[in-house]
Amino acid sequence: MLIDFFYTLRSAKLPVSVKEYLTLIEALKAGVVGPNAQTRNDRTDASPSGYAMDDFYYLSRTTLVKDEKHYDKFDRAFAAYFKGVEMIADFTRDIPLDWLRKNLELSLSPEEMAKIEKMGWDELMETLKKRFEEQKERHEGGSKWIGTGGTSPFGANGFNPQGIRIGQEKSRNKSAVKVWDQRAYKDYDDTQEIGTRNIKIALRRLRKFAREGHEEELDLDGTIRCTAANAGYLDIKMVPERHNNVKVLLLMDVGGTMDEHIARVEELFSATKTEFKHLEFYYFHNCVYDFMWKNNRRRFSEKFATWDILRKYNKDYKLIFVGDATMSPYEILQPGGSVEYNNEEAGAQWLQRLTSTFPKFVWINPEPQGVWQYRQSISVVQQLMNHRMFPLTLKGLEEAMRLLTK
């Protein structure tokens, strides 16, 4: 029976109903596809049993998917199921806290670290699923099970060059490809007064002045000119306040490795809010996916779909990313790579959509420029940004603003 296929579609958030599933079963029993169906003689993809995968694909999509907007989800779920790979491990499952209690600290030499083998993404997920099924008790200091203090790719407070970090208090080696933690972030403080005026001065390179709105400012030259033309009788003239008319869309990474840069990013955020009247900002974590948020306390209850953001703002907006781009490369390149949930599309696709929609864009990185070459994820983001990444320094900001004004 195809009950596992049905639940795979459900877990992929497809709105399939039991009635539609039963319709599919009835169609298969009636021979709509298969050895009893009337097929072309030139078909080469049919199996010895007479069933062709393409036939079943179109039949199941027709019976189970009611709206074309779900075709992409269906294709991914269909491929995952029939390649023999079940959906990524269930990250909502509870793990006994005793399994993750830290009792010892592992100390390895560089030679011992180099001997530990890395697992690829698919192998990691399949192995983790097996551990969920097999493990019954706490393990510590080992290389296989979900535990602590060892070289296992699953657990906390140990060492593995490429694993899934589960239950650790904070980052230690920055080598995990996925982090299984509930995160809580604070909003950046936009009232922070900058220690120097340098950041504001650098941002002022991005200017396009205009006088719009209510007449709130004295036009001294106009007043003198009109008073002189009016035989000396005072004729006061007012003009709208002069302001920077540049529109900025600011997307800021928050939490995780960005905790080391809070003070500097708050200074930049404060300066940006001061300098730009037309400013819109959103938060993301590590990489942009299908939603962002404006308030970190309500980031799950008040989401803003990235598609809506792409449609809401026109190409006049200058797009500025602020983030250290320090993460597992899988978080950028792999569906399901996000540290907090199983994203349906890779972060790289969303970054490409944003940079295509807003042709004037830059990435401001608070990490020291000297370490960029040693971070694989930074190299990936640099390529996606067409090398428009600049350090969070006075010179870097000046170069970024100069590029945005071209």
CATH of the domain at 254: 3.40.50
Same domain assignment for residues 54 and 114: no
Residues 273 and 332 in one domain: yes
Domain total in the chain: 4
The answer to whether residue 57 is domain-embedded is yes
Q: CA-CA distance, 91 to 73, in Å (whole number)?
A: 19
Look at residue 90 and tell me if it is in a domain: no
Same domain, 57 and 150: no
* 190 within domain boundaries: no
In which residue are the tokens 């009792």 written?
Answer: 103
Please indicate, yes or no, whether residues 250 and 380 belong to a single structural domain of this protein: yes
Give me the pLDDT at residue 173, please.
58
Q: Are residues 387 and 259 in the same domain?
A: yes
Structure tokens, 341? 């949930």
Please list the pLDDT of the chain residue by residue as tens digits (406 residues).
578 888 888 888 888 888 888 888 888 888 888 766 555 444 544 444 456 777 888 888 888 888 877 887 888 888 777 765 444 445 455 656 555 555 445 555 666 556 556 666 666 667 767 766 666 666 665 666 665 666 666 666 666 656 665 656 666 656 666 665 655 666 766 554 444 456 766 676 665 544 455 556 777 888 888 888 887 888 888 777 665 678 899 999 998 788 888 888 988 888 888 888 889 999 999 899 999 999 888 888 889 999 999 999 999 899 999 999 998 888 899 888 887 778 889 999 999 999 999 999 999 999 999 899 988 999 999 999 999 999 998 888 889 988 998 8
- Would you call 43 exposed, middle or buried from its count of C-beta atoms within 10 A (0-12, 13-18, 19+)? exposed
Its domain, for residue 309, covers 198-208+245-405
The reply to whether 272 and 396 lie within a common domain is yes
User: What whole-number distance in Å separates Cα of residue 343 and Cα of residue 194?
Assistant: 37
Q: Do both 387 and 284 map to the same domain?
A: yes
**Measured distance CA(67)–CA(51) in Å, rounded:** 26
Residue 242, strand partner residues: 211
Q: Are residues 272 and 173 in the same domain?
A: no
Domain match, 73 and 110 both: no
Contact 212, 240 (CB under 8 A): yes
pLDDT value, residue 87: 44
Residue 193 counted as domain residue: no
82 SS3 class? helix
Both 275 and 153 in one domain: the answer is no
Residue 192 in any domain: the answer is no
- Domain identity same for 152 and 9: no
CB-CB neighbours of 80 under 10 Å: 17
20 shares its domain with 64? yes
153: amino acid identity, one letter = P
| Final residue before a domain boundary, out of 55, 82, 109 | 82
The residue from 189, 221, 242 where one domain ends is 242
The pTM for the full model equals: 0.54
Residue 89's Cα: distance from chain center in Å?
20
Please give the sequence-ordered ranges of beta strands (E in DSSP) within 289-388, or none if there are none.
291-292, 304-305, 318-322, 361-365
16 found inside a domain? yes
Instruction: Return the pLDDT at 288.
Output: 93
Residues with Cβ within 8 Å of residue 298, at least 6 apart in sequence: none
